[in-house]
A and B are shown apart, each in its own frame.
Chain A
Amino acid sequence: MKNKKILFLLLVVVALLGAFYAYREYNRAPIDTAAAAPDFALMGADLIADFEQDEAGATARYVNKLISVQAVLLDVVTTEAATPDEKESYTLVLGSTEGSTTVRCSMDSSFALQQASLTKGKSITLQGICSGYNKDELLGSDIVLVRCALVNN
């Protein structure tokens, strides 16, 4: 009888722990790209060279990872909000004026352009999740980072 009670209690504890774990997993927020330690920290030119020289290898290494990249700010693209509830969104384009491949960083919705004091031509550091490489001869190729945040600027 006593053993049955202990077994029952154990089962209840296991079920509660399982439910707690499932609840936490279900509600898990995406990684905080501004605060988390990057999987890779590198210069923009090196990241670009890696993708240009070995796309498959660079894809396996960098895609879905948090990348910290330092490079010259070439452009800031503002996209109008799609609905009245949303804010404008921003893409910072990093790279060098010599090459046609850039690192395009789609900024996290928490990014505020007015507070960032960005200057084109100056080097900045961003962190974001690498979503892949868009090879395009017509438009120029890009390494795409999403949910990006400015760091140490």
Chain B
Amino acid sequence: MLKNIFLIGGALLLTITNVQAQKFFTKTGRIDFNATTPSSPEKIEAVNKTVTCVLDVASGNIQFAVLIKGFTFERALMQEHFNENYLESDKFPKAEFKGVITNNSAVNYTKDGDYTVTVKGKLTLHGETREVESPGKISVKGGKISASASFTAVLGDYKVEVPTLVSDKVSKTTKITVACTLEPLKS
């Protein structure tokens, strides 16, 4: 009887250790960008569905990377201005975030559920790197992990200049929403 308990306990511990050691990832994450103001004639928003994300569930380290030219707008002109005048994507083709879930120990990655987390790290955009801290959510369901967060970035902090002519039409702060469904990384 005692032997069986030890065997089951050992197997359980091994499973938990294995899950904890795993990295989870996606290459089809999503970032929504919104710089609409009340005086904007229409929504200034874009979406990128080719976001790469890697989460190390043991350490809570999390990384995002995105190609700026992968953001799509409804209007071609808006997309061209976004790439050429604002984010200068030829010069700065990628944006990335490297950070950590500061309360990672509060997340039980082996148990289905929703967990409120805080993510802290460095966001590099338009060649400028700034500290970012944001609340987020980790959802665990059937072996998959969903990670989401929403925060605002001040365009001026990243040296993204909004021309005076449209300064009241384009928000000086942009809302960035990240959503990724992650799968175990098989090594």
A residues at B contact (CB < 8 Å): 25-31, 59, 63-64, 77, 79-80, 82, 89, 91, 104, 106, 129, 131-132, 134, 136, 138-139, 142, 144, 146-147
B residues at A contact (CB < 8 Å): 25, 27-28, 30, 32, 49-50, 52, 54, 65, 67, 69-70, 72-77, 79, 83, 93-94, 179, 181, 185
A37 shortest CB reach to chain B, Å: 17
Contact A139 B49, beta carbon cutoff 8 Å: no
CA distance A138 to B76 in the complex (A): 34
Q: Summarize B's interface: helix, strand, loop or mixed.
A: strand
Contact A139 B79, beta carbon cutoff 8 Å: no
Known: A131-B69, A134-B65. 18 other contacts (CB 8 A): A26-B77, A28-B75, A29-B76, A30-B76, A82-B30, A91-B49, A106-B50, A106-B70, A132-B69, A134-B27, A134-B67, A138-B185, A139-B25, A139-B27, A139-B52, A144-B67, A146-B50, A146-B72
Chain A residues whose CB sits within 8 angstroms of the CB of B69 once the complex forms: 63-64, 129, 131-132, 146
Residue of A nearest to B148 (CB): A82
B187 shortest CB reach to chain A, Å: 9
Contact A132 B70, beta carbon cutoff 8 Å: yes
Contact A142 B73, beta carbon cutoff 8 Å: no
Chain A residues whose CB sits within 8 angstroms of the CB of B28 once the complex forms: 77, 79, 89, 91, 106
Contact B67 A106, beta carbon cutoff 8 Å: no
Contact A139 B181, beta carbon cutoff 8 Å: no
Chain B residues whose CB sits within 8 angstroms of the CB of A136 once the complex forms: 52
Specify which of B52, B76, B179 is in contact with A31 (CB 8 Å cutoff): B76
B29 shortest CB reach to chain A, Å: 8
Can you report 24 residue pairs joining A to B where beta carbons are below 8 Å apart?
A26-B75, A26-B77, A29-B76, A30-B76, A59-B93, A77-B27, A77-B28, A79-B181, A82-B32, A89-B49, A91-B28, A91-B49, A104-B50, A106-B49, A131-B69, A131-B70, A132-B67, A134-B52, A134-B65, A134-B67, A142-B27, A144-B50, A146-B70, A147-B72
CA distance A150 to B177 in the complex (A): 29
B116 shortest CB reach to chain A, Å: 19
Chain B residues whose CB sits within 8 angstroms of the CB of A142 once the complex forms: 27
9 closest residue pairs by CB, A with B: A131-B70, A131-B69, A132-B67, A28-B76, A131-B67, A30-B76, A144-B50, A79-B28, A91-B28
Contact A131 B49, beta carbon cutoff 8 Å: no
Chain B residues whose CB sits within 8 angstroms of the CB of A132 once the complex forms: 67, 69-70, 93-94
Contact A29 B67, beta carbon cutoff 8 Å: no
A18 shortest CB reach to chain B, Å: 15
Chain A residues whose CB sits within 8 angstroms of the CB of B30 once the complex forms: 79, 82
Chain B residues whose CB sits within 8 angstroms of the CB of A80 once the complex forms: 181
